[in-house]
Each structure stands twice: as structure tokens, then as C-alpha cells.
Amino acid sequence: MNNTMVNIKELPEEELFYGHKACAGCGGALAVRLALKILGPRTFVVCPANCMSAVGFLYPSMPFFVNAFASAFPCTGAVLSGVEAGAKAQGLKDFYVVGTAGDGGTADIGLQALSGAIDRNSRVIYICYDNEAYMNTGVQESGLTPFGAKTTTSPVGTEIKGTLTHKKSMFEIVAANNISYAATASIGYPQDYMNKIAKAKANQGTSYIHVMAPCPTGWSMATDTTVSIAKEAVNCGLWYLAEYEHGQFKLNKDPKQFTPVKNYLSQQGRFKHLSDDQIAEIEHHRDVKWEKIRADWK
Amino acid sequence: MTSNKQFISGDEAVALGVKLSKVKVIAAYPITPQTIVVEKLSEYVANGTLDSEYIHVESEHSAIMATLGASSTGVRTFTATSSQGLLYMAEGLPFVGGGRFPVVMMNANRSVAVPWSIFGDQNDSLSTLNFGWIQVYVENAQEALDMIIQSYKVAENPAVMTPVMVNLDGFILTHTYELVDIPEQSLVDSFLPPYVATNKMSLDNPQSVCIGVGPDWHTEFRYKQHKDMTNAIQVINDVDAEFGKKFGRKYGGVVETYHCDDAEAVLVTVGSVTSTARAVVDQMRQDGYKVGLLKLRFLRPFPIEEFLSLNDCVKAVGVIDKDFSYGYEGIIYTNVNSAIIRRSNVPVTKNYIAGLAGRDITKEQLTDMYMDLLHSDKNSNEDRVKFIQCKVG
Amino acid sequence: MIRPQISKFTGPKNLNEVPVPTAPGGVLIDKNAGWRNVRPVFDYTKCVNCLQCYLVCPDGTIYKSEDKLVVDYDFCKGCGICAHECKLHAINMIPEEE
């Protein structure tokens, strides 16, 4: 794990995202809550169309206790740059600008603006909370939906059974964009996630934190398993904890032995249709990826 | 006051207006024929003569949303675009308009693809009339510079808090040169003080901006938006009068009329064609024709009163549209008709479609339009919409 | 720290009271308590204040009160993550009484 250790016992007690109407057990809400614990009250949140904005801005109830901007869907990166420029132009100091975009709002419709923000090296933090589908609009397939997953636009039919493509490599994409600091994280490892947010907080350029945030509603799983399933994804190698800084990749956690992917997949309704071939494809894809990770990131 | 006249283009005049208005954040994406505006502005920033952040955005959608992001922190902002870019940022326009932020944007009026053209007409901005922006159309480079400054004063008025789009005809205004009086910075400062934001995110008083409103209260928010925009007419007129007193130039407010008091036929013009029409009015008046000109400066808020108060001697009103709404008629014509129909004495109205994608509107064409109006018959069944000098129809 | 409170909302009564679409942050007008079927209850004989439950609650409803952890039942949705993650089984999910 990295060196900046956030002390849980010294976390501020203020809740800056509270009383919202997210689903019980929402991974995304936890990701946003923990990020704001680290960033504190002098934060401007930019939240594009997603579950957090749907539950975060309905007049007259405003669950963000910090400044928050409900942005259009494609432009989180642009609004981040704009808010930072506006705050800078009036001489504000000691403030943080953070985007809380979903996977669709990052890897698909938001990719262009994210690339622009990184290119400008705006002093902003971009958090992608990844629940692996367009959850807010009803669980449709996104560029970060994993192979085989059932979504409402990649249903299990007679000819096609679930998503046919693998997740886009967002972490590698932002690294190729020469970002100042990027990290993958998981709400299954909240200490590691908060450490990375703290690092992003101190970074003078653009930061990208990709945090896996399971969705009990969309993944068809028990609401109390959100954190444990997120941990399981890392333990079976389907997600990884890594960083990119000073132009170098660094793997944070290298499991000596992966737990069986079936342990992870079987807890989620969205995978219950998987054939042995599909599971083999998932394992094979994981193995190819980890061969590369272990060769290049250690 | 000392006069500092420079021979500059419309685009350059806009850039100078932005510099004089001491804008703090600019986010813009280049598109012909707006490019000179953003090039000059980045020059001023690079030389330190304009103390502003310049955000190199990667698209027009990002341009308007980055501008909005900055404006929401409470600083004066500017962006500029044209045609395809305006349509690409279309989603962002009601964000700014409905969110009630005083952004000022210059739009170079240019034809909208397809067919593809870089030349000027007004289909682009007229297609965005419904998004809650005040829209003004200028006649020359001097008015362009002056209206940038006036627009900030109008937009930032706490009773208005509505963005303003300043439109220049593409190439005809953006790229032609004229002598423009550049006001002194100190004079502009005394007219346009720094922006004190009432609608902003603040570290001392956290706000949620661009919020959602459900069916229970949505109508009320929209009604307020509409009322505030209608009340802006008074502010627009007052700001123009005050500008006139201070700078020695004024433009008449929401409209400017020329020889309308005893006119029998009036042409309504928007943008640069007004200058040509004025010359035609002068010539025709010499020849004994009672013709007049109504320069429609603001399309939103729409100046209904000014059409109601045209004298009853006006028997025919012609509207020149450098745009078209396919399957119906010119957009300005639709807007003017809806005001005129409220009169007790309704003149005949005609729509002249001219100047599409940069085609010249000549003095001869304008003279023909006036003659057509003077001979028009209210009871005739002829098509009220005419495509001028259309080779096939 | 002052816990987030519920405010009363009456709505604008005339045009002058209608705001622009910008609203003060941190305003809550109703509880989430009605979402629950089960509620978390601490067994303080087992709890060692490791704060893991406080950390992983998506809604932030577990908080420190004097020397122990308590639940803000106005906003707890009963997801059960706290109980599931507590290694010492110091939290039990008890059915809501009718």
C-alpha cells in the first residue's frame, strides 16, 4: 500500500454528504462520503448526471453540505476546469475541486472532457465511482460493464447472453494521457482508497481515482455485501489496486493466490447465467491482464 | 473624452470589448469566423494586458460548461462560438439560461450544415431562441464593442441575472474593417464596476447550483425565469441610455426605428443588413416614398410593445430573414407576426428570405422589397413568404 | 458536531420568493427511516470502537456519542453493511417493530 496513511480515528466527524435518497447499501454513496471526509468543507463538488446527482439535488432537499454543482452528463472534466479557474481567478486559496462521475459518465460520454482536463493539468480530482453500468437510468451497459454481465441493454437472450466486451482500461487511458497522479481503488479497501484521496488532495495537478463501488440494486446482490464483494473482486484478480505517478505504474497489492472467480460471481444475480465457457473467458482475460501487470507495474 | 479610433474588424472589436470589461475567465474553442476573437484574447492574456484565466477547452460543449463552472464561482466570464459550435453546446445554453448566470457569449452568425457553409446567416442563433438567453444582434463593429460592455451590465443586474448572446454576422461583420472608437479603460470602469455575484457557490455559504426541480415546483421556477427576462427590457433600455450619456453613443434600446412615424411600409431588419436598408430608406424618401426601418436589436426578450406602438399609417411590414424554419417560414417573421397580431389595426406582413449562407443583400433587392410592400394587398392570396432571387423558385 | 437536522419546508408564496435554481447546501426535509425492515443494534459488550462500521456506512449514520458508537435512526436505511463487516459480531440486525 502507499505511504500516506489516513488515521481513521482522526477523521473529522462532519458528514458532508448525508440524508440522501441513494439505495440502501450504495457503494457510490460510500465512495463520495469517504472522499469528502478527506477533502473537507472547502470543497467544490462537480457531480454529473448519475445516481449521486439524482439523489443529491432535488429541490428543496440538498444532501451535499459542501458547494456542489449538478453538471450535464458529458462535461465533468470541463466544469472541473472551469470551477478551478473561477476560484483561482478570484484569489481563493486552500480549496479542492472534485468530480464524482460514474463509469458511463467517465469512460463513455465523459471521456473527451476528462482527457481535456488532464491535458490542461487543472488542479482538480476526478473520481470515477465504477458500478459497471448506467445504474441511474436502469442498469444499461456501459464501457465499463464487465464481460458476461447481464444489463438491461445486454440481456441474457437465446442468441446473446450478456455483455460481449471487456471493461475499457480507464486507468491505462488516463496514464497514456500523461496524468499527474492516478490510482485504482475499491470501497472494499476503504483505508487504501482514503489514502489515495489524501494523495490526490496534495497533488498540484490533475488526479484520477477509479474506485470500484458495487451496486446491490444493479448487481442483484444482498445490500449488506457491498463492501465484502468489492473486496472479493480484488482478491480474485478481477480488479486491481495500483497507482500511476511520476510517469510510472506501481502495483499496490499482488495477491499470491487469487481466490476463485466463482466465489465473486456467484454472489451476484447479474452473473448467474454464466456458462463454463464464459467463466473460462473471464479467468483467461484476468490471467492475460495480470501477466502484463506483473511484468510492467512491479 | 479623448478619442482613440482604430481600424479594426468586428471580431477584433469584440475582443477589445471583452478586454475592457475585465473578464476573469475565458473558455472557448476556435471555429470560423469567430477565430480572431479567441486569438486576440489569448494574445492579451499572454501579454498580461488582460488579467484572465484562458481555458483551452477541447470542444464547444466543454467551452460553455467550463464557462458556466467558472461563472458559478462568482466571476465574470466570456465565451464565443458560431454555427456548428453553437449547436454542439446547445445542451449547455439552457444550463446557463435556466441556472441564471450572467455569462456573455459572442456568436458569429454562420450557416448551419448540411449543406455545409462557412458563410453568414442567422439560422444558428435563431434556432436557440428558447434557451433562456437574452439575444442582441449588432449592426457594425462599433456596436459590437459597445454591446459587449453593455451586455455585462444588463446580465449582471441582480433583477436580470440572465446570460446574453451578442450576435455578429459572419464575415460581413466579423471580418470587415471599420473605424471604431475604443473607449478609455477608466471610462469603462466607471460604467461597468466589478461583478458582485448574488448567485454563486461560496466557501462561506455552501450552495447547490443547477439543481433539479420536480413537477410540484418546476412551473414556478420557469415563470420566474420568464418574468425576469421580460423585466430585462427596461434594464436594457436604461443601460443603453446611460451608455449614451457616458460614451456619446446610444442604440435605442431593444429596437431602433428610422422614419417609422409616418411610414406606410416598414422593413424589419436584424444585424448588418440594417446599414444597407438605412441607405435605401434615405434614397426612397428622396424619391417621395414613405418608407421606414425598424432595426430589431433584441430577439429575446421580444419587444412586443414596440410593434404595438407602430402608428396605424403603417400598412405593410416586411421582415427580412437570413434564416428559415423548413416547412414553414422565417423565424423572425414568426416572432414579429405574433406581436403584430395583438394590434387592433393589423398591417399586412411579408417575409423576405434573403442572404442565406452569405449571399449578398443588395440595395436593389431592398428597394424591390419596399415597392412590394407599398403595393401589397391585405386581401391577396399570394404567398407571404418570398425567397429573394431564388434561381429556381 | 451538530448532527444534520430536518428543516421544515413550506415553499415560495409569491413570485418574489421563487429562487433561482441555486439552493443552500445541507438542507434535509424528510427522514429515510421508513426504508428499513431491519435496524442495526449495538452489543456494547463486544464492541471495541474499532470504527470499521462508522467507516463503511454509505449513509454516515453511525457516529460517536460520548464514549460509544450510536446510530442515527432517522437516516439509517437498514442495509446491514455495518453488521456484515463487524469482525466481532457486535452489531445485530433486528426486525423493525410494526
Interface test with C, best of B162, B209, B223, B229 (most C CBs within 10 A): B209
Residue B198: partners with Cβ closer than 8 Å, 6 or more residues away: B158, B161
**Could you tell me which CATH number the domain at B5-247 has?**
3.40.50.970
- Superfamily for the A18-296 domain: Thiamin diphosphate (ThDP)-binding fold, Pyr/PP domains (3.40.50.970)
Burial category of B339 from C-beta neighbours within 10 Å (exposed 0-12, middle 13-18, buried 19 and up): middle
Encode pLDDT of B140-198 as tens digits.
999 999 999 999 999 999 999 999 999 999 999 999 999 999 999 999 999 999 999 99
Encode pLDDT of B80-102 as tens digits.
999 999 999 999 999 999 999 99
Asked if the Cβ–Cβ distance from C60 to A226 is below 8 Å, we say: no
Quote the ipTM score: 0.96
Q: What is the mean pLDDT of chain B?
A: 97
Q: Where are the domains of chain A?
A: 18-296
Please give the average per-residue pLDDT across A179-197, as a whole number. Answer: 98
Interface test with A, best of B61, B65, B220 (most A CBs within 10 A): B65
User: What is the torsional sign of CA B137, B141, B143, B144?
Assistant: positive
Please give the average per-residue pLDDT across C76-88, as a whole number. Answer: 97
Percent of chain B with pLDDT over 70: 99
Looking at chain C from residue 72 to 91, which residues have their Cβ under 8 Å from any Cβ of chain A?
Answer: 75, 77-81, 83-85
pLDDT value of position A1:
41
Encode pLDDT of B30-57 as tens digits.
999 999 999 999 999 999 999 999 999 9
Asked if the Cβ–Cβ distance from A67 to B202 is below 8 Å, we say: yes
Is the pLDDT score of A4 beyond 80?
A: no
Strand, helix or coil at B246? helix
Q: Where are the domains of chain C?
A: 31-95
Is the pLDDT score of A76 beyond 70?
A: yes
Dihedrals phi, psi of A286, to nearest 5 degrees = -60, -45
Encode pLDDT of A8-27 as tens digits.
999 999 999 999 999 999 99
As a three-state string, the secondary structure of chain A is CCCCCCCHHHCCCCCCECCCCCCCCCHHHHHHHHHHHHHCCCEEEEEECCHHHHHHCECCCECECCEEEEECHHHHHHHHHHHHHHHHHCCCCCCEEEEEEECHHHHHCCHHHHHHHHHHCCCCEEEEEECCCECCCCCECCCCCCCCCCCCCCCECCCCECCCCCCCCHHHHHHHCCCCEEEEEECCCHHHHHHHHHHHHHCCCCEEEEEECCCHHHHCCCHHHHHHHHHHHHHCCCCCCEEEECCEEEECCCCCCCCCHHHHHCCCHHHCCCCHHHHHHHHHHHHHHHHHHHHHCC
Please give the average per-residue pLDDT across C26-30, as a whole number. Answer: 95
pLDDT value of position A3:
56
Of B83, B89, B38, B80, whose CA–CA distance to B59 is shortest? B89
Of C85, C53, C82, C40, whose CA–CA distance to A232 is shortest? C85
Asked if the Cβ–Cβ distance from B56 to A89 is below 8 Å, we say: no
Is the pLDDT score of A113 beyond 80?
A: yes
Is the pLDDT score of B2 beyond 80?
A: no
Are domains B5-247 and B255-387 of this chain identical in fold? yes
Please give the average per-residue pLDDT across A183-208, as a whole number. Answer: 98
Of A159, A148, A157, whose CA–CA distance to A274 is shortest? A148
Asked if the Cβ–Cβ distance from B209 to A68 is below 8 Å, we say: yes
Long-range contacts at C60-68 (CB < 8 A, ≥ 24 apart): C60/A15, C60/A17, C60/A18, C60/A33, C63/A13, C63/A15, C63/C1, C63/C3, C64/A13, C68/C42, C68/C44
Is the pLDDT score of A40 beyond 50?
A: yes
CA angle A236, A241, A244 (to 5 degrees): 145
Is the pLDDT score of A55 beyond 70?
A: yes
Is the pLDDT score of C98 beyond 80?
A: no
For residue B175, give the C-alpha cell: 471580418
Is the pLDDT score of B393 beyond 90?
A: no
Is the pLDDT score of B238 beyond 50?
A: yes
Cβ-Cβ contacts under 8 Å, B213 against chain C: 21
pLDDT bucket at B127, cuts 50 / 70 / 90:
very high
Q: Give the closest of C11, C20, C25 to B217, CB-based.
A: C11
Please give the average per-residue pLDDT across A92-108, as a whole number. Answer: 98
Encode pLDDT of A150-169 as tens digits.
999 999 999 999 999 999 99
Name the maximum alpha-carbon separation found in chain A.
61
Contact (Cβ atoms closer than 8 angstroms) between residue B336 and residue B317: yes
Q: For the packed helices B10-20 and B141-156, what is the interaxial angle rounded to 10 degrees?
A: 30
Asked if the Cβ–Cβ distance from B71 to A86 is below 8 Å, we say: yes
Asked if the Cβ–Cβ distance from A190 to C32 is below 8 Å, we say: no
Return the CATH fold of B255-387. Rossmann fold (3.40.50)
Encode pLDDT of B62-75 as tens digits.
999 999 999 999 99
Please give the average per-residue pLDDT across B14-42, as a whole number. Answer: 98
User: What is the distance between the alpha carbons of residues B386 and B373, in angstroms, rounded to a whole number?
Assistant: 12
Cβ-Cβ contacts under 8 Å, A192 against chain C: none
Strand, helix or coil at B269? strand
Please give the average per-residue pLDDT across A89-105, as a whole number. Answer: 97
Please give the average per-residue pLDDT across B326-333, as a whole number. Answer: 98
Q: Where are the domains of chain B?
A: 5-247, 255-387
Supply the DSSP symbol for B344. S
Q: pTM to 2 decimals?
A: 0.96
User: What is the distance between the alpha carbons of residues B310 and B123, in angstroms, rounded to a whole number?
Assistant: 27
Q: Give the lowest-confidence range in A29-43, A171-185, B162-176, C84-98.
A: C84-98
User: What is the distance between the alpha carbons of residues B236 and B301, in angstroms, rounded to a whole number?
Assistant: 10
pLDDT bucket at A298, cuts 50 / 70 / 90:
confident
Return the CATH fold of C31-95. Alpha-Beta Plaits (3.30.70)
pLDDT value of position C14:
95
